[in-house]
Structure 1
Amino acid sequence: MKIVKHSGNIVDYNPSKLRQSLLKSGASNRQVETILKTIEEEIYEGISTKQIYKMAFSLLKKICNSHAARYNLKEAIRLLGPAGFFFEKYIARLFAAEKYQTLTNFILQGKCVSHEIDVLIKKDNSIAMVECKFHMGKDANSDVKVPMYILSRFNDLKDRRHIIYTRNDKVLDCWIVTNNRFTADAIAFAKCSKLNLLSWNYPEKNNLKTKNDSNHLYPVTCLTTLSLSEKDKLLVLDVILVKEIINNSECLERIGLSPNRIQNVLKEASELCEYI
């Protein structure tokens, strides 16, 4: 059976790929097989991957909210837009979880011009700049022009002394992070130029997806028990990660949730982060 991807490309329906993503959500083998059987009874020639995703998400949600939330991770990261400001805060949280000191939206003077840096990180007295390339489009990729441009900014900054954590700091390294993917040329150029890349699926064993799953760094936008407007209110309150809700029901009270709904949100958050 042929299905239509977001890009418009027509491919064969691959139940194995769907099975794997459902298992990663935390659903059991029996639950996954039931979902696959239901979907296979309803799909048709030419159905879009978006419609299949919606069906799978809805079926997961009936089983367990936290399974659906984990399955919804990539879309949840996209909901940190559209401007990308909250995505930058989210990336800072990911580095902070790995024991980095972090600063966001910091202006540094280069040799030629000044630069607004999305995130600065420090560990073991080494400081790096992190540039975030946020895409709202699901099929948008960061091509080779992105690392080429950011390398020029890094080169303008790296040989100068800056006032960051002390009055005599140097920016010694550079990261580029995107919520989608890098093209093959972008990866090749970054490797050649010694730039660090982080995306949804790169590097293979330490990417956005694996960092989330291993450290439970899920953004609040993945929670199924909150509306879009409620998620936006939490982001404005600087509540970026699901972890930050647990043992902090005050933030849920501040956005107007009833005691019963607060309990539902906390239950989903605890299950998602495996604090049971």
Structure 2
Amino acid sequence: MKIVKHSGSIVDFNHEKLKQSLLKSGATPAVADKVLQLIEDEVYEGISTKQIYKLAFSLLKKGSNSHAARYNLREAIRLLGPEGFFFEKFIARLFLSEKYQAKVGLVLQGKCVSHEIDVIAKQGAIVTMIECKFHGGKDAATDVKVPMYILSRFNDLKENEYKIFSNNDRISRCCIVTNNRFTSDAVVFAKCVGLELLSWDYPETNNLKDKIDKNRLYPITCLTTLTLSEKEQLLILGVILVEDIIDDSLDLEKIGLNSRRIKNVLAEALQLCRSI
């Protein structure tokens, strides 16, 4: 059976790929098989991947909000836009969870010109500049022009000393992070010049998706018990991660949720972040 991707390309319906995505949401094999069977009963020649996704999300949500939230993770990352400012904060939190120090949005003077850096992170003596390339479209890719441009900025910055975390920090490492993917040319170029890349599915292991699941760093936009407007309000208040509301629900009160809604949101948050 042929299905239509978001980009308009036509591909075969992949039973196993869909099953794996259901299992990665936390669904048991029995639940995944049941959802898969229900989806297969509904699919037809020429159905869009978007419609299949919506159907899978709806079926998972009937059984478990947290499973639906995990299945919705890539879309939840996209909701950290449209400009990507919240995505930068999210990436800083990710590095903090891995025992780095991290700061967002610093302007540093290079050898030639000044540069605004999305995230600066330090672990041990190593200081890393992290540039975040956020895409609102699902099929957009970061091409080779991006690492080429960032390499020139890195070269302009790495000769100087800065007062960031200490009085004599030198930037010696550069990482580019995107919520989507890199083109093959971007990967080849980055490897050649020593830039590190992190995307939804690159590298093959310990990619963005793996890091989020491993550290349970789910963005607040994951939660199915919040409306889009409520998620936006929480982001403005500085609530980036689901874990931010678990120990302090005051921000949920600030955006007008009643006690019943707060209880439901916290139940989903706990299940999402603390389940094994």
TM-score, normalization: structure 1?
0.98
Displacement of 1:251 in angstroms is 1.2
Is the counterpart of residue 85 in structure 1 residue 85 in structure 2? Answer: yes
Is the counterpart of residue 51 in structure 1 residue 35 in structure 2? Answer: no
What SS does the aligned partner of 1:245 have? helix
Query: For the residues of structure 2 that align with 1:242 and 1:272, how far apart are their CA atoms?
Result: 8
- Aligned position for 1:205: 205
Displacement of 1:273 in angstroms is 0.7
Deviates more, 1:162-171 or 1:57-66: 162-171
- Aligned position for 2:226: 226
- Aligned position for 1:3: 3
- Aligned position for 2:136: 136
What SS does the aligned partner of 1:148 have? helix
- Aligned position for 1:108: 108
What SS does the aligned partner of 1:151 have? helix
- Aligned position for 2:14: 14
Query: For the residues of structure 1 that align with 2:94 and 2:35, how far apart are their CA atoms?
Result: 32
Query: For the residues of structure 1 that align with 2:179 and 2:121, how far apart are their CA atoms?
Result: 19
Displacement of 1:167 in angstroms is 2.9
Query: For the residues of structure 1 that align with 2:254 and 2:29, how far apart are their CA atoms?
Result: 39
1:73-124 deviation line (CA, Å, top 9, x unaligned)? 0000000000000000000000000010000000000111100000000010
Equivalent position amino acid for 2:271 in 1:
E
What SS does the aligned partner of 1:273 have? helix
Equivalent position amino acid for 2:65 in 1:
N
Displacement of 1:34 in angstroms is 1.2
- Aligned position for 1:247: 247
- Aligned position for 2:60: 60
What SS does the aligned partner of 1:45 have? coil
1:22-64 deviation line (CA, Å, top 9, x unaligned)? 0111111111111111111111110000000000000000000
| Identity in percent | 67
- Aligned position for 2:217: 217
1:224-265 deviation line (CA, Å, top 9, x unaligned)? 000001001111111101111112111111111010000000
1:188-216 deviation line (CA, Å, top 9, x unaligned)? 11011110100000111111100011110
What SS does the aligned partner of 2:246 have? coil
TM-score, normalization: structure 2?
0.98
Query: For the residues of structure 2 that align with 1:66 and 1:184, how far apart are their CA atoms?
Result: 34
Displacement of 1:168 in angstroms is 2.1
Displacement of 1:163 in angstroms is 2.2
State how many pairs are aligned. 276
- Aligned position for 1:270: 270
- Aligned position for 1:261: 261
Equivalent position amino acid for 2:67 in 1:
H
Equivalent position amino acid for 1:264 in 2:
N
Q: Give the 5 Å matches for 1:8-47.
A: 8-47=8-47
Equivalent position amino acid for 1:189 in 2:
F
- Aligned position for 1:120: 120
Deviates more, 1:260-269 or 1:22-31: 22-31
Query: For the residues of structure 1 that align with 2:49 and 2:254, how far apart are their CA atoms?
Result: 37
1:146-179 deviation line (CA, Å, top 9, x unaligned)? 1000000000000112222233221111010000
Deviates more, 1:165-174 or 1:203-212: 165-174
Query: For the residues of structure 2 that align with 1:200 and 1:32, how far apart are their CA atoms?
Result: 23
Equivalent position amino acid for 2:152 in 1:
S
Query: For the residues of structure 2 that align with 1:167 and 1:269, how far apart are their CA atoms?
Result: 40
Query: For the residues of structure 2 that align with 1:84 and 1:101, how far apart are their CA atoms?
Result: 21
- Aligned position for 2:148: 148
Displacement of 1:275 in angstroms is 5.3
What SS does the aligned partner of 1:46 have? coil
What SS does the aligned partner of 1:121 have? strand
Query: For the residues of structure 1 that align with 2:106 and 2:257, how far apart are their CA atoms?
Result: 35
Query: For the residues of structure 2 that align with 1:109 and 1:80, how far apart are their CA atoms?
Result: 28
